[in-house]
Amino acid sequence: MGDRFNTVAGWALFGGIIALGGAIVSSKYFDSERPETMGYAIEGVEAEGEGAASGPSLNTLLASADVAAGEKVFAKCAACHTVNQGGANGIGPNLWATVGEPIGQGKGGFAFSDALKSKGGAWSFENLDHWLTSPREFAPGTKMTFAGLGNPADRANLIAWMNTQGSNLPLPAADAAPAAEGDNQAEAGNAANAAAPAENAANASE
Ligand code: HEC
C-alpha cells in the first residue's frame, strides 16, 4: 500500500514537473515570438523608404512636399545644427547646401566620425532619407545621436526644405504608381507605366 502510494505520488509529481516545464517552455516560446513579430513590423516601415509597395514613394512625397512644414520639422535638428550660409558648427556641422554635397566632408572643419567620413558619395534625396530614418543604420558608429524620423512625409518635407537652403536641386517627379517603383524598365509592360510614358522616359534616363 505504502509503496503503491509512493509510486502514484511519484508519477503525479513527475506529471506536474512535465506540465510546469511545458508551461515554461511555451511562455519562453511566446516571449521570444513577440519581439520577433514587432521587429518585423518595424522593418516593414523602414522598407517603405526604399520603395516598398505600401505608401507613397519618396519621389511622390518630394514632388508634393510641404516646404513650410519641413522647416518646422527642422526644429528637431536645430539643437545641434545651423543651416544658414556660413553658420557656425555646433554639436553637428552647419547644413547650408548639404543636399548634393559629399557625405561627411562638410564646411568649416567639422570633425566628422570615421563612420560618416568614409561613407563616400554625395548626399542625395534618397540617401538623406535613409540617414534621417536611422542615422545609426546608415552609418554605424556615427556620432549623430539622433534616433531618426519615423514619418516618411516629415522626412520628405524636411529634405525638400533643406534643399531650399543653398542647394536648390530639382525635385524628382512623382512616381506613376507604387508598382512602377524600382526597375521601371523591367516593368515596362504594366498598365501604370503605359499610362505615363513621359514619366517612364524620365525615370529610365536616370
Ligand atoms: C544631438 C545632436 C544632433 C541632432 C538632434 C541632429 N544631428 Fe545631424 N549631426 C550631428 C552630428 C554630431 C553629426 C556628425 C555625424 C558624424 O560625424 O558621424 C551630424 C551630421 C549630420 C549630417 C551630415 C552632414 C554632412 O555634411 O555630411 C546631416 C545631413 C544631418 N546631420 C542632418 C540632421 C537633421 C536633418 C537633423 C534633424 C532631423 C539632425 N541632423 C539632428 C548631430 C545632430
- Average pLDDT rounded to a whole number, residues 126-148: 98
Pick the closest to residue 50 from 197, 171, 178 (CA basis). 178
Nearest CA residue ID for atom 37, ligand 1:
77
98, 114 contact by CB (below 8 A): no
Q: List all residues whose CB is within 6 A of at least one atom of ligand 1.
A: 76-77, 79-81, 91-93, 95, 98, 103-104, 106, 112-113, 115-116, 132, 142-146, 149, 158
pLDDT in tens, 69-104: 999 999 999 999 999 999 999 999 999 999 999 999
Question: For residue 91, with 0-12 CB atoms within 10 Å meaning exposed, 13-18 middle and 19 or more buried, which class applies?
Answer: exposed
Backbone torsions φ then ψ of 172, nearest 5 degrees: -65, 160
Residue 72 Cα to ligand 1 midpoint, Å, equals 16
Q: Residue 107 CA: which ligand 1 atom is closest?
A: 26
Which of residues 85 and 18 earns the better pLDDT score?
A: 85
159, 67 contact by CB (below 8 A): no
pLDDT in tens, 23-67: 555 555 555 545 444 544 444 444 444 444 579 999 999 999 999
Q: Residue 115 CA: which ligand 1 atom is closest?
A: 18
User: What's the Cα-to-Cα distance from 170 to each of 45, 124, 164, 192, 196, rounded to whole Å?
Assistant: 27, 11, 10, 24, 20
CA-CA-CA-CA dihedral for 173, 162, 134, 38, to nearest 10 = -60
Specify the pLDDT at position 182.
53
Q: Residue 149 CA: which ligand 1 atom is closest?
A: 38
Q: Read off the C-alpha cell for 75.
A: 526644429
